Structure 1
Amino acid sequence: MQPGVSHHGKKGEGRKHMRHIINGIIALFVLSLIIYAAVELKLNIEKDETMPVISADTESIWVSVNATDEELMVGLTAKDEKDGDLTSEIVVGNKSKFIKKGTINVTYVVFDQDNNLAQLTRKVNYLDYESPKFSLADSLDFYVGEVVSVLQVLKATDSIDGDITDKIRIISSDVNNREVGTYSVKVQVSSDYGDTCEIMLPVNIHANAINCPTITLTSYMVYLKVGEKISPEKYISNVVDAYGSAIDKDSVQIENNVDTACPGVYQISYTVVDEKGKTGVCNMVVVVEETLQEEK
């Protein structure tokens, strides 16, 4: 220990130095609180508490199934007290399933610069909407023992969703591919908007035949309205024998039992016999649809 310096004196200087450090930390903490409070106060003063508003000049609109989002937003405006006109910022938020055939609720959304949200919902009516329709890439004619692959040739389209083939389901089937006859397969398809359609399709099982002629049609499934006429011969595309030689289309015999006055599913049968007495058969499905009065 140095002369003139006591042990107690050194301890006192250490405590004094420590108090300065603690006081400095406290002062810095208090200053930080003051700055934080000032910033929060400024933000609260500047914060936009007003909500934007979307307005529509009509509660419902009528559009084509091919309408763009811009066409769906016709007649809409959006305003905000702070940001002004926000019409160009409106977007289509949600589309409901059908509340009735061809009519949905569309919800529109807009945000102001402070992320305040406004929504508006109105009805959108599709003027030219049609329920899903089935089509066939080939006839539903099979031979005894052949795998009956209806889903491989059956397709479905919707006027809004487009191709919905992957949504087709077989509901029931009484097909026996071991016996000649005409059987039934019930199929169903639903659009994203909840429009479900079912149809009972005829499936034909024929006796095994070798080197038979082939009849090719332009379409294997046709939709008609009640009372609409059909000319079956116009659907014949090509007729050839087993070796690819052309056969006169006029030699095809047509059995048409379609009653266009009565809604239902029918078949038109096309038969041809070649020079060797071999018979080829092809069937076309005809769906006669009832004309329903549109809901308003």
Structure 2
Amino acid sequence: MKYIRITMMFLFVVSLGLYGLSWVKEKQLEDSTKPLLTSDREEMELSVDYEEGDLLEGLTASDAKDGDLTDQIIVGSFSQFLEPGVCNVSYVVFDSVNQPAVLTRKTRFTDYRSPQFTLSQPLVFRAGAGSNAVSQVGANDVLDGDLTSLVRLVESDVNYREEGEYSIQVEVSNSFGDTQEASLPVHIVEGSNAALEIELMEPLVYVKKGEGFDPNLYVESVEDADGNLVQGPSLTVESSVNNQEAGCYEVHYQVTNEQGLSGETWLTVIVRE
């Protein structure tokens, strides 16, 4: 029994020694240095039409053991806007033992503009025909693209059964938290005022504050109920647009042909800052 105890103690000491040697060797091989990720500028300026490689401009990464890691930098996430067109972009890089280095850099989109609403047709409907004005409203964004599915109806006072002037309030946000609202006019007209159809180049246009605006440039054609072009109709144009003040305005177009048939429509104009 004595020899057995001595043998077991010897094996224990040897095992402990081997473990100690293994631990020391592991510590010697362990990478105690973390990678370094740096930028040569505090703020990055980009176009909204950037490519992913543009986001990496001015960044370098290195590690004492692994050397240059610049080509392994990964673009992380975009923050919500700090101000319109300005956000933080995060980056990360890993060394060979998966130790990370993280950097956040302010990024400014120099040609950014807020989301804009669109219309698939003028918001003009025949009384009693039934419709849904908000279904004609879309939106687009220079960074996120089509936002139509995110357009939300906030408020509506439209009565599709009675002739009159109404409005719908709509809202949309892009992924950066830029929210835009608009109160869009809706017109319910009698059937006799829709015998002729005035085709517009666009049903909704944006005009920058202070820029010129000519309502006559937006009429494409006038057609009868069968889709035939009407030649030489008498067209009346009434514009409420004030291009010196931001807001939502309208241009009213009315037309009457030689047979006394008439039609009318409205162009929605949003003047932005």
After TM superposition, the score normalised by the length of structure 2 is 0.90
Which runs of 5 or more residues in structure 2 are unaligned?
Answer: none
TM-superposed deviation, 1:135: 1.1
1:248 aligns with 2:228: no
State the aligned residue count.
272
Paired amino acid for 2:105: R
253, 260, 278: which one pairs with 2:243?
A: 260
Given the superposition, is the C-alpha separation of residues 37 and 241 from structure 1 closer, same or farther in structure 2, using an over 3 Å criterion? same
Q: Contact conserved, 1:241 with 1:274, CA < 8 A, in 2?
A: no
**Which residue does the alignment assign to 1:72?**
55
- Structure 1 counterpart SS, 2:191: coil
Distance in 2 between residues matched to 1:213 and 1:28, nearest whole Å: 104
- Structure 1 counterpart SS, 2:268: strand
Paired amino acid for 1:260: N
**Which residue does the alignment assign to 2:220?**
237
Query: After the TM superposition, which residues 38-117 of structure 1 pair with which residues of structure 2 at under 5 Å, given as runs?
Result: 39-117=22-100
Query: After the TM superposition, which residues 193-272 of structure 1 pair with which residues of structure 2 at under 5 Å, given as runs?
Result: 193-209=176-192, 212-248=195-231, 251-272=234-255
1:257-295 CA distances to partner (integer Å, 9 max, x unpaired)?
2122222211111122234322211111011123xxxxx
Paired amino acid for 1:281: E
TM-superposed deviation, 1:77: 0.8
TM-superposed deviation, 1:243: 2.1
Q: Contact conserved, 2:147 with 2:174, CA < 8 A, in 1?
A: yes
Distance in 2 between residues matched to 1:230 and 1:120, nearest whole Å: 46
116, 119, 125: which one pairs with 1:133?
A: 116
Residue identity (%): 40
Greater Cα offset, 194-203 or 277-286: 277-286
175, 184, 200: which one pairs with 2:158?
A: 175
Distance in 2 between residues matched to 1:156 and 1:27, nearest whole Å: 80
Question: Pairwise CA RMSD of aligned residues?
Answer: 2.6
Greater Cα offset, 52-61 or 238-247: 238-247
- Structure 1 counterpart SS, 2:267: strand
Distance in 1 between residues matched to 2:194 and 2:160, nearest whole Å: 20
148, 153, 173: which one pairs with 2:136?
A: 153
TM-superposed deviation, 1:233: 2.1
Q: Contact conserved, 2:194 with 2:263, CA < 8 A, in 1?
A: no
Greater Cα offset, 25-34 or 59-68: 25-34
Radius of gyration: which is bigger?
Answer: 1
Greater share of residues in strand? 2
Distance in 2 between residues matched to 1:131 and 1:289, nearest whole Å: 10
After TM superposition, the score normalised by the length of structure 1 is 0.83
